[in-house]
């Protein structure tokens, strides 16, 4: 996995966090309703023009859509887990803390996800800036003798 792909996943995760905080639909829910809308409009507009066999196929496809688990009933924690399953974290301490928080609370909250995301972005996009964690590991300039 290359760094560009990892950065793309991180940016999409940031976008997903914003959507979750706005209570927007997940990408799977959006695709479900778009496909449902297209099918309903095709049936409504072409009621007299669609052959019976094609109408049966459209009806069967609509029925299958409702039977596919996780398409219509998707939620943000599941969508975020799917996205993060492909991500390779760079800030291991923040990732470990995020995992422990999820295990302790038994659920994923957008606040905890945002905290991890901001910490990860600081590591990925600003590696030259010192953080309190990295600052604690550097020797004091006054004690260093040259």
- pLDDT tens digit sequence for 49-77: 667 667 777 777 777 777 676 677 788 99
Question: From the centroid of its chain, how far is CA 125?
Answer: 19
Asked if 66 and 84 sit in the same domain, the reply is: no
Asked if 13 and 35 sit in the same domain, the reply is: no
Name the maximum alpha-carbon separation found in the chain: 89
Contact yes or no for 86/15 (Cβ under 8 A): no
pTM above 0.85?
no
Asked if 68 and 94 sit in the same domain, the reply is: no
Residue of higher predicted confidence among 45 and 106: 106
Asked if 91 and 66 sit in the same domain, the reply is: no
**Number of domain units in the chain:** 2
Asked if 19 and 52 sit in the same domain, the reply is: no
Asked if 63 and 32 sit in the same domain, the reply is: yes
Containing structural domain, residue 43: 27-72
- pLDDT tens digit sequence for 130-144: 555 555 555 554 455
């Amino acid at each position: 996995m290359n760094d560009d792909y990892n950065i793309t996943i991180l940016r999409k995760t940031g976008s997903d966090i914003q959507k979750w905080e706005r209570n927007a639909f997940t990408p799977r829910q959006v695709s479900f309703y778009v496909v449902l809308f297209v099918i309903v409009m095709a049936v409504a507009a072409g009621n007299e023009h669609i052959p019976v066999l094609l109408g049966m196929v459209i009806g069967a496809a609509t029925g299958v859509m409702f039977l596919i688990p996780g398409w219509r009933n998707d939620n943000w924690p599941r969508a975020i887990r799917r996205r993060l399953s492909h991500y390779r974290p760079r800030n291991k301490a923040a990732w470990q803390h995020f995992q422990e928080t999820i295990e302790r609370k038994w659920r994923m909250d957008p606040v905890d996800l945002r905290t991890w995301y901001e910490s990860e972005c600081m590591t990925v996009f600003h590696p030259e800036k010192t953080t309190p964690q990295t600052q604690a590991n550097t020797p004091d300039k006054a004690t260093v003798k040259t």
